[in-house]
Structures are given as C-alpha cells and as structure tokens.
Amino acid sequence: MTAAPDRTGPDGRAAPAFDLFWLNSSLNATTRAGFGQRAGAWQPPPPAADRLAVTAAPVALGRPVDAMQQAAEARRSRRAFAEQPLTAESVAALLSGAAGRADGSGRLVGSAGALYPVEVFLLLRRPSPPLERGVHRHLASEHALVEVGPLPEEEVLGDLLDPTGDPGGAAVVVLALHLEAVLDKYGERGGRFALMEVGMTAHALELRAAAAGLAGYLLGGTDDAGLDEVINRGRRPRVHTALAYVVGDPAH
C-alpha cells in the first residue's frame, strides 16, 4: 500500500522548496522597500550580441489578419485613468477572460490537471451598480461575482498596492493562488504550473480589457501579506496573492 503524500502548500510540506521560494519572494511592509530600491537602481546592461544567433537567413513570417490579432495588437499597459467607475458591462467583459466556457466544459484558460489554482478577486474601488464598493470573488464557472467583504479605506488600499502613489483605476483585479491541490499532486513542479497559470489568466484579462476599451496595467510589487488579509478575511485555507491588475476607463 502506498503511503499518503504529506499535506501540502505554503502551510504544509508537499513542496518545501517552492514554499521557501514563495516566502523569499513575497513582499510585505518590511521587504517592499528593498524590492523598490533594487528595481529602481537597476541599469540595463549594454546590448549584447544575440547568443542564439545562427548564420542561416531568417524566413519572414506573415502576421495573421483577424480579430484575434487585432485584440493582441490592442493590448498594452495603460496607466492614465478617467475618474468614473466601471460599468457593470465592462466588469463582465473584463472578467469573462477568466471565466468558464459557456457550455460548462472547463474554462477559457487551461490548467494543469484541470485543478484551476487561480482565484480571481475584484477590488472595486468605486461602485458599479449593482456591484458595491468592496471585495468581490469571481465564480469562474458561473461567471458571477459574489461580495466577500469590505475594502479598506482608499489610503490603506493605495499603500498596499503602490507605496509610491495612487495606482489609479476604478478597480483592481487580484490573482491569487490556492496551492494545496496543485502542490499535492505535482510536488515542486506544481509551483511552476501555478505561476504559469497566473500569467495566462493575467494575459486573458489584459486582452479582454483591451477589447473592451479599458485601460490597465499589471502591478507586480504589491504588499502580498496586506492584500492576503483583504481577500482572505480570516478564511481557511488561505489563498495567496500572486499578481494584481489595475483597471479602469482610460483618461481622454
């Protein structure tokens, strides 16, 4: 008989090296200053020769001319926002990128073992009737939102997102991970899978935002510990903040 695997996640031992990596790469009120200083002081190295270059002549590839290409070309980081709240229609369009297929067979974004470790939270800074200002969890299969708690005051939230100034945007999408199943099933490699899936979901949101005419940008230096409190509100098992996406109508 096979022994049951050790339980799991950042709270347990299924993937101790990933747990350590997660801990060491997490940002909180203390570690954030060092992260900011390091990134701010970084100088790009002088352009180097392409180490993968070969002598064969490149074969030019044409770009497709279709709606998907149009959406991909429209995606870019936009950091200037209008003051107005998002409409409920914009919220629906934005989050549809992270939703389940309309026919109920899985989701628009794939997942290792169909475990779907990415949880999507919408921090709505300005109400989008019928949605109130607050923390909303996206239910992917139903493509619905459920309010899970209040948002901290603007000043506190702004600081958790960006200590250097108001990040802007009428809302922030937080992509968080529940790691138990993926680390239990795949061990250390499950950590890679989970982070890849954060990236895939983030890209799907960016594409949807672009198609809906919204502005937005990914925010990688958030106070993870602080945002974890905002989205978990004491619930167990906890989900772990991985990446944020600031979004709103563009400034004109």
Ligand X SMILES: Cc1cc2nc3c(=O)[nH]c(=O)nc-3n(C[C@H](O)[C@H](O)[C@H](O)COP(=O)(O)O)c2cc1C
Q: Which residues bind ligand X (CB under 6 A)?
A: 76-77, 79, 217-221, 243
Give me 159's structure tokens: 């600081």
Q: Which residue, 133 or 208, has its beta carbon nearer to ligand X? A: 208
Q: Which residue, 112 or 218, has its beta carbon nearer to ligand X? A: 218
Residue 245: in which H helix or E strand, if any? strand 240-248
Q: Which residue, 185 or 203, has its beta carbon nearer to ligand X? A: 203
CB-nearest residue to ligand X: 220
Contact 91, 145 (CB under 8 A): yes
Question: What is the nearest approach in angstroms of ligand X to the Cβ of residue 19?
Answer: 21
Closest CA to 173 of 99, 240, 247, 122: 122
What number of CA atoms fall less than 13 Å from residue 111's CA on the CB side?
25
Question: What is the nearest approach in angstroms of ligand X to the Cβ of residue 88?
Answer: 26
Question: What is the nearest approach in angstroms of ligand X to the Cβ of residue 40?
Answer: 12
Under DSSP, is residue 12 helix (H, G, I), strand (E, B) or coil? Answer: coil
Which amino acid, 214? Answer: L
Whole-number Å distance between alpha carbons of 141 and 105: 9
Give me 55's structure tokens: 């002598």
Q: Which residue, 25 or 77, has its beta carbon nearer to ligand X? A: 77
Question: What is the nearest approach in angstroms of ligand X to the Cβ of residue 223?
Answer: 12
- Residue holding tokens 């629906």? 92
Q: Which residue, 45 or 165, has its beta carbon nearer to ligand X? A: 165
Question: What is the nearest approach in angstroms of ligand X to the Cβ of residue 246?
Answer: 8
- The strand order across the sheet containing 215-219 reads 144-149, 134-139, 118-124, 171-177, 240-248, 215-219
Q: Which residue, 227 or 243, has its beta carbon nearer to ligand X? A: 243
DSSP assignment, residue 1? -
Question: What is the nearest approach in angstroms of ligand X to the Cβ of residue 5?
Answer: 31
Question: Bridge partners of 128?
Answer: 131
Q: Which residue, 79 or 126, has its beta carbon nearer to ligand X? A: 79
Question: What is the nearest approach in angstroms of ligand X to the Cβ of residue 99?
Answer: 21
Pure H helices in the chain: 16-25, 32-41, 67-74, 88-95, 154-161, 180-186, 188-211, 224-232
DSSP assignment, residue 112? G
